[in-house]
Amino acid sequence: MLKSRVAIVTGSTSGIGLGIAHELAKLRTDIVLNGFGDPGEIEAIRSGIEREHDVRVVYNGADMSKGDAVRRLIATTVETFGRLDILVNNAGIQFTAPVDEFPPAKWHAILDINLSAAFHGVAAAVPQMKKQRWGRIINIASTHGLVASTHKAAYVAAKHGLIGLTKVVGLETAGSGVTCNAVCPGWVRTPLVEKQIGDMATQKKISHQDAAKALLGEKQPSSEFVSPEQLGGTVAFLCSPAADQITGTALAVDGGWTAQ
């Protein structure tokens, strides 16, 4: 379906981004991986996807907290592949604390990586996508782009902002062959959430397994985690012809969290 398309997935050395990269590669999309980690492990991921799906995969370690590095990631991809079809703005970090104790440096880091990186990426990618008359921009927001929780001031602000950005870009690109949508996952069991499970286990003096259950019980009516593969499937759907007229939306994949 997406043969010969080229996709950048930011933050794809782990968790949801890695799941999305796998699902797009399955559809024969060439992939630009991005994110931090051990160089040997990243190379194993890169060559593994390339071998398994017979697509071209390159790694670019651009730091998403730096706007000029994000813009260079887009430019380098276009230079390398001659095109850019799909941009998945996925890289993200989390930090939790009450607002009056929230360290300003953490606030800035979360806003830079979870929101401003998407702005820089979109700004650099849209002209190329418009020229091609086809493009898909998918911003991985969160249920926290739609509703709030305590102790997540920066994250909730960034994710709500990301959905706002999605709507503006959806309008500005409407009718050009380019769409821009947000995906809003509920709990997904990745390293980002594992830390929150660990914190809860310590705080409540319960096992990791009970903490994971408690986390789900608090918010996610299905009582099941969303998987990175399911989110990869959602991204693939948004890249399919069935989604040609879907733009500027925020699609919840959250086991019923935001239906409450």
Which residues are marked as active site? 155
Strand partners, 89: 139
**With contact defined as beta carbons under 8 Å apart, do 185 and 164 qualify?**
no
What angle do helix axes 153-173 and 104-111 make, rounded to 10 degrees?
20
β pairing state of 86-89 and 57-59: unpaired
Interacting span for ligand NAD (CB under 6 A) from 32-40, 49-57, 100-108, 206-214: 32-40
Query: With binding defined as CB under 6 A, does residue 210 bind ligand NAD?
Result: no
Among 50, 56, 63, 206, binds ligand NAD (CB under 6 A): 63
Measured in degrees and rounded to the nearest 5, phi and psi for residue 23 equal -65, -40
Residue type, 184: C
Query: With binding defined as CB under 6 A, does residue 187 bind ligand NAD?
Result: yes
Strand partners, 253: 185
Which residues, numbered 216-255, are part of the site for ligand NAD (CB under 6 A)?
A: none
* Minimum CB–partner distance for residue 107 and ligand NAD (Å): 15
Among 6, 20, 45, 65, binds ligand NAD (CB under 6 A): 65
Dihedral angle sign, alpha carbons of residues 133, 120, 59, 88: negative
Query: With binding defined as CB under 6 A, does residue 182 bind ligand NAD?
Result: no
3-class secondary structure, 113: helix
**With contact defined as beta carbons under 8 Å apart, do 95 and 112 qualify?**
no
Site string for ligand NAD, 114-143 (x = CB under 6 A): x-------------------------x-x-
Interacting span for ligand NAD (CB under 6 A) from 33-41, 42-50, 208-216, 241-249: 33-41
Binding residues for ligand NAD (CB under 6 A): 11-17, 34-37, 63-65, 90-93, 113-114, 140, 142, 185, 187-188, 190-193
